[in-house]
Structures are given as C-alpha cells and as structure tokens.
Amino acid sequence: MKLVLLWTDILVWSLMIVLFLGSWVISRSPQIKAQWHAIFRSSIAMASSTVLLFYLLFTLLDSVHLRLALPLEGQKSQEVVYGSEMVSLLDLIFEHNIQNTERTYSAPFATVEYTSSIMVDENGMTKQVHLPLKHVSTKDNVLQESLFALGVGLIVSLSLVVLHLWWRERSRFMLAWKEMWQGESDLPWRTAYVTFIVLVMAFTWLYMLSYSYHVLGTDKVGNDVLYQSFKSIRTGVLIGILTTLIMLPVAVILGVSAGLFGGWVDDVIQYIYTTLSSIPGVLLIAAGVLSMQVMMSNHPTWFETTLERSDLRLLFLILILGITSWTGLCRLLRAETLKISQMEFVTAAKAFGVSKLTIIRRHIVPNLMHIILISVVLDFSGLVLAEAVLSYVGVGVDPTMHSWGNMINQARLEMAREPMVWWSLFSAFVFMFILVLAANLFSDRIQTVLDPRNKV
C-alpha cells in the first residue's frame, strides 16, 4: 500500500492537529476550561457532540487514501507497482458493498429486483417476473441476524465505555461507575455513553446485515445506497467545517479592522461587503463554479484520476463558499468592535500608548470569541444544507463524488417512477438530518452559555 494525500486530506488532518493544540491550550486556561465545562454540562450538548464526533470519525476514515500494489505474476523484479485507483479506509471497510453490485433497483432488504423484467419460460410463454438479486441471502433469517448484530454492537460499545471510564477515572473506577449510572457525575456522561452505545449498535447492525442484504437498497445501476450514504459524510462535513474556517479569518480581520480603525478603512470594507451582499449568493457561487469547471476542462492533464479531479472541484467549491459567506459575520464583528472600542479599558490602553495590534489581541478578539464561536457552529449546518441545494441545481460537487446533494438530485427522477423509488432520498435525508440536528442543538447550547445577554 502507498499513502496518497489529496488536497482536502491535507486540510482535514491539519485541522485535526489544530484541534488537538486548541484542546491543549484550553486545558491550561482555567477560564476557557470552565466555559466549555459549562457547555458540556447539558445532556443535549453531550449527546449532540457525541453524534458529531461519530460523523467526524467517518470523515477521517474517508480522508486516508491509499494506492494498492498490483499483483505481478511471473516477474522476478522486486519493484512494486501501484495501481492508479485510490481507495480510502472507508472503502476497504465497505469493500463487499462496492463489489456486490446488482443489475438495477432493489428495495431495502429485498431478495428480488424492484422492477419486473420480461422473460420467456421453458414453454415459450412471455411473462414479467422479478429476477432474484445476485448478492443477497436467500434465507429468511433477518430477525436472527439482527439480534446477533445488535448483541455484538452492545458488547463492543460496552467494552469501549468501560475502557474509557477506566482511563478517565482509574483511581476511583467503581465509584465513578456508580456516579455515572445514577446520573450524579459532574458532566452527563451517562447521556454520552447511552448515545455512543446506540450509535455503535446501529452501525454494527447496518454493517453486519450489509453482508447478507442491501440494507438501504440499490440505485439505478445497482450500487449499494448504504455505502453511498456513509461515503457522503465526508463531503458534507468538509464543506461545513473547511468553508467556515476559510471564511473565519477574512471576517475577523476585516470586521475588527473596520470597527477599530474607522475612517477610510471602514469605508472600503463596508463597500466590499455591501457589494457582495447585494449580489444573490446562488448566482455568485454558480458563476465561480462554472468558471472553475471551464478552467479544469481546459487543463485535463492536471489530474491523473477522476478522484483527484473531483477532489480539486470540492476544494474550489469550499473556497468559493468561503469567499462569498463572510459578509454577515464581518458586519456583526464590526458593530461589536465599535462598541468595545469605546469602553474604558480600551480607552485606557490607548492612553498608555499600547499599539493597535496589542489592543486587538488582548482586548478586542477575546471579547468577540462568543460571537465567533456561535456563528461558526450556526454556519456549519447552513453550509451542509447549502451543498445539497447547490448539487441539486447542478453547481455543487462533481457528479462522480458521493454527496447527499447528488443522491437527492438523482432521486428526484426516481420519485416519479411507478412504483416509486424512495430509499435514496430517504437515506440522504436521514443522514443529513441527524448531522444538521446535532449541529443546531450543540450551537444552541454554545449560544446559551457564551452569549452575555443570556446571563443578564
């Protein structure tokens, strides 16, 4: 195997390094640590953060790409030749779903094709029959396999819970277990563990049954919908997180500069974000995406594989969304900076000759962090939904890339069939709904704790 890093993979793992460093900084600051402790004191926040971490895990699994070595028979050369196709760790986990493709549509847990085919029997009679699927179990033991899979998921999840609790409270393990079970712990760990157990059991059930059935059915060309749904997690999470991180520095720098420096700096920044805000967002994004498509079409030699092409298009889409979505936060930070710059501690710092950069670093930005954090989490769910809308209208990610937007776009024609093919739309909706709901619940808790107006 040979490790291959795409542009988005580099950004994802760089983000993980930044998150680990940020966690280390938070652990050394009692004030910031107390704020996050107050956020996670809510059961809803703890459950929603567990769901978000579960989605992040699949994003990381899908962000490690490999090239597999090709088998060379009859050659004595020791040189290893790698294939051009790239696969991720998630692809290796769902390899059986990738290989076991059917001929056409099949419903969830079905053993025959969804649409009938015209066949001629041994008597020469023409009739319509539902052909059997090639890669499903013919035994009707769904209940037995479901109970076994749920049992395996329960054992695995309980083992991980016990291991985490022992690592966290090894000196008082039994007392900590009793406090957690009775709901008397400082943080609602019982809610987090129950959520984790439910998620692991659900995934284990889906995964183990996917060896015997197409749990969420297949699409028009026989590809497994369950694999497509899990594969689309990376696209949604990347657009939500990376777009926010690209937009954030622009909004903070321009918003703080406009509010603190004033004068012609304020006028220029206001003119820029007012002009961008006056252009409809979808038209601006569509123009950027179409220009990027023309550039990529004129330079096909830039890409060795289809995956590299679709990954670069995803990166460009993230950049375009980041460039066009910073105006709202910038306007908010400018107004708040104008208010903070008139307060006594900022006036005193100016009187003592403290530089503007030091004032921004020590006084302005720390008092804007609650607005920044609230906006970041709120924008995340909006950007996940934006990807679905943009892919639906044809200016989103590459059609060859797995995403919930592409699944919904393909399902709109399937909904008009008779009988109706509903499972592709249902799967994309459920996976996207859970992610957006968890992000919104978590952002509500952050807003409740960090917004000073709520404390009054």
197 close to 154: Cβ distance less than 8 angstroms? yes
pLDDT score at 153: 94
pLDDT score at 456: 47
pLDDT score at 72: 65
- Rounded Cα distance between 264 and 258, Å, is 9
pLDDT score at 207: 93
pLDDT score at 261: 85
- Rounded Cα distance between 118 and 124, Å, is 12
Q: What pTM was estimated for this model as a whole?
A: 0.87
- Rounded Cα distance between 75 and 77, Å, is 6
Two structure tokens written together for 151? 């049992």
pLDDT score at 37: 86
pLDDT score at 452: 62
For the chain, state the CA radius of gyration: 26
Give DSSP secondary structure letters for 360-406: IIIIIGGGGHHHHHHHHHHHHHHHHHHHHHHHHHT-SS-TTS--HHH
Length reported for the chain: 456
pLDDT score at 49: 92
- Rounded Cα distance between 174 and 181, Å, is 11
pLDDT score at 75: 54
> pLDDT tens-digit profile of 392-408?
777 778 888 888 888 88
Residues 6+ apart with CB under 8 A from 214: 102, 106, 108, 109, 110, 133, 135, 136, 224, 225, 226
Q: Identify the segments of the chain with pLDDT beneath 50.
A: 456
